[in-house]
Amino acid sequence: MSLSDENTCSSIFQKLKPTYLRDGAVNQILIRKRLALLKKKEVSMQEHLNEVNGLVNQLKSCGVKIDMDEIVYILMSLPPEYDYTKSAIENQPS
């Protein structure tokens, strides 16, 4: 694939789109899987939340409505040392 003939960013994007952007449904499934399997690594909480937010924003860009899902994904991804915090959040009145 040659991009040298393209004159605008839009035309380059349109040419690359079929190769690099997945089908919407497949992409949603892959992002949801990454979120469901995500675990906090040896990074700061801020970096971890940024990773979660990045994946959530990818889902939003696919047209998925996110409400409480983001909180559930964050809680599921936290290691055992956050169990007390998770319990406190989960037991809040709705």
Is 3 a member of any domain? no
Q: Is the dihedral of CA 52, 55, 60, 63 positive or negative?
A: negative
Is 7 a member of any domain? no
Domain count along the chain: 1
* Rounded Cα distance, 72 and 88, in Å: 13
pLDDT > 70? residue 86: yes
pLDDT, tens only, 27-60: 888 999 999 999 999 999 999 999 999 998 888 8
Nearest CA to 77 out of 36, 47, 46 is that of 36
Task: Give pTM, 2 decimals.
Answer: 0.66
pLDDT of residue 61: 83
pLDDT of residue 39: 94
Is 5 a member of any domain? no
Tokens linked to 89:
């959040």
Provide the domain limits for residue 78: 24-91
pLDDT > 70? residue 68: yes
pLDDT > 70? residue 94: no
Is 64 a member of any domain? yes
Quick check: 56 and 34 in contact, CB under 8 A? no
